A and B are shown apart, each in its own frame.
Chain A
């Protein structure tokens, strides 16, 4: 079946769309009143260094580490497609859970680095972590002059953890996780 012929030729329709958008951007208050107000009122964008956009819910800005939950199981480092997570740990004894019990053997982190110059923000490490130690933080302003400074060590990753918001509500119709773990409660 041939496509129905549009009433207005597509060429003119396209020109109309761009012209209308230009008009709405330049004169958001109506024709010729207060043209091109700054900061951008009619525009869909913001003037970034002066105005900052609030990140979307569950924005993937930077990966943060809750060090207390990490058991140095190395799952994240092994799943990482870029091999940009470096983990070193040693075994140590922790006090027993109950009085009179045996001291527990735990892994203590010596080093947990993520090299954000290699990271491709796939989030597999966050997904794969069975102990809720890795979280997405919405912070995004961590560019550096030296590329080596993009290697964030565990204290830096711990600082990012402070910025992780608590569970944000899902959009209606979204697939709901079985057991949402409270971020702050996980501490």
Chain B
């Protein structure tokens, strides 16, 4: 849409940055309100915030206002300069993730040929932020949390990449826009009525990917790095005020981002997978300029809901259980999945 207007490069860039700057915090805010404030409350038989705005919709604004007023404390023994950087490393990595997620036929900030590879690369930058935060805080809990986070994020980076490889083999491309189109046009054993959303053929990959996402985000069965009952908040323990706010919002923005990637890879993205509906030309293309973002948001919020549903239901894994699950279970399964996909791709 933006490219079609034939604007100069700087104007396009400005618009894209503006859109990203609106979309990312809005997505995070919706996720916080819907899931952290409301869904968990209902699951615990209470109503959650009800006072700020109708049904507590303005609660997050009140919380943000509170955090902004707080003192920006840097511990005396901490590495003064290093301590201040990590929130913005993590926020940056979260923002960069949204660059290649397509939300319509042309509504994508930058349709990189190696889109999914890029996403996996920038999303793993956040582990550096976590490690820096843990180290620079000069706090034993922060350091332990940071090391746990490093071990966990590296362990679960692998099954995530391997789960994506299955999709990439089947689609034959790394470009996320192409992956969406492939799902939209695909057919399962000659039947194309519902296209070929890869969740059907790559169910194993989808499950492995969602488990790995849960671990990458540090959501509850995998929240060893911030386990409040063991390391009192882990690598975030020394952060207050606006820096904590940035950590908090990037956590939720990352949840939304990973859900958007999962819905793009496995659920058909912004499109409705079906052969009788061509999203890239004619009326379908025109409709999808408007419908695409809504469809993508719906799928994303459903997947985010699943992530938080699991988070609110499960107790925490022990460190050894967590590592065993990644190395002895998820990685072999995803390797088998890749082998099966490759063989079927060649045979069929």
Contacts and interface: CB of A to CB of B under 8 A. Distances in A.
Interface of A: 11, 14-15, 17-19, 21-22, 24-26, 36, 38, 40, 42-45, 47
B46 interface: yes
B45 A15 contact: no
Nearest to B312: A18
Contacts of A18: 43, 309, 312-313
Given A47-B47, A47-B50, A25 B42 contact: yes
Interface of B: 39, 41-47, 50, 55, 309-310, 312-314
Contact of A14 (B42, B45, B55, B314): B314
A101 B41 CA distance: 69
B43 A22 contact: yes
Nearest to A17: B313
B313 A44 contact: no
Interface of A is mostly: helix
B309 A15 contact: yes
A17 B45 CA distance: 11
Given A21-B42, A40-B46, 17 more contacts: A11-B314, A14-B314, A15-B309, A18-B312, A19-B43, A24-B45, A25-B43, A25-B46, A25-B47, A26-B42, A36-B47, A36-B55, A40-B47, A43-B47, A44-B45, A44-B46, A45-B47
Residue among B39, B41, B43, B44 facing the most chain A CB atoms (10 A cut-off): B43
Given A22-B39, A36-B55, A15 B313 contact: yes
A42 B43 CA distance: 11
Nearest to B314: A14
24 contacts: A11-B314, A14-B313, A15-B313, A17-B313, A18-B309, A18-B313, A19-B43, A21-B42, A21-B44, A21-B45, A22-B39, A22-B43, A25-B42, A25-B45, A26-B42, A36-B47, A38-B50, A43-B46, A43-B47, A44-B45, A44-B46, A45-B46, A45-B47, A47-B47
B45 A19 contact: no
A26 B47 CA distance: 9
Contacts of B47: 25, 36, 38, 40, 43, 45, 47
A24 B45 CA distance: 8
Contacts of A25: 41-43, 45-47
Contacts of B314: 11, 14
A78 to B, nearest CB: 37
B116 to A, nearest CB: 28
Contacts of B313: 14-15, 17-18
Nearest to A25: B42
User: When A and B form their complex, which 9 residue pairs have the shortest distance between CB atoms, in order from nearest?
Assistant: A22-B42, A44-B45, A18-B43, A25-B42, A45-B46, A18-B313, A14-B313, A22-B43, A40-B47
